[in-house]
Amino acid sequence: MKNLELIFAHDMTEFDPGAEIGFIASWDLESVPESVEVRLVWNTSGKGDRDLKVVKTVRFDSPAANDQKDVTFTLPWGPYSFSGKLISVIWAIELIALPGRDSMRREITVAPRGKEVVVG
Binding site for another protein (CB under 8 A): 11, 13, 17-18, 20, 37, 39-44, 46-59, 71-80, 82, 84-87, 89, 92, 94-96, 101, 103-108, 112, 117, 119-120
Q: Which of 15, 24, 12, 29 is nearest to 91 (CA)?
A: 15
Residue (54 or 64) nearer to another protein, CB? 54
Written as one letter, the residue type at 4 is L
Residue (31 or 101) nearer to another protein, CB? 101
Residue (44 or 63) nearer to another protein, CB? 44
Least CB distance to another protein at residue 65 (A): 19
Task: Round to whole Å and give the CA distance between 31 and 51.
Answer: 32
- Which positions ≥6 away from 3 have C-beta within 8 Å? 26, 27, 28, 29
| Coil, helix or strand at residue 21 | strand
Residue (31 or 120) nearer to another protein, CB? 120
Farthest CA pair distance, the chain: 48
Least CB distance to another protein at residue 111 (A): 9
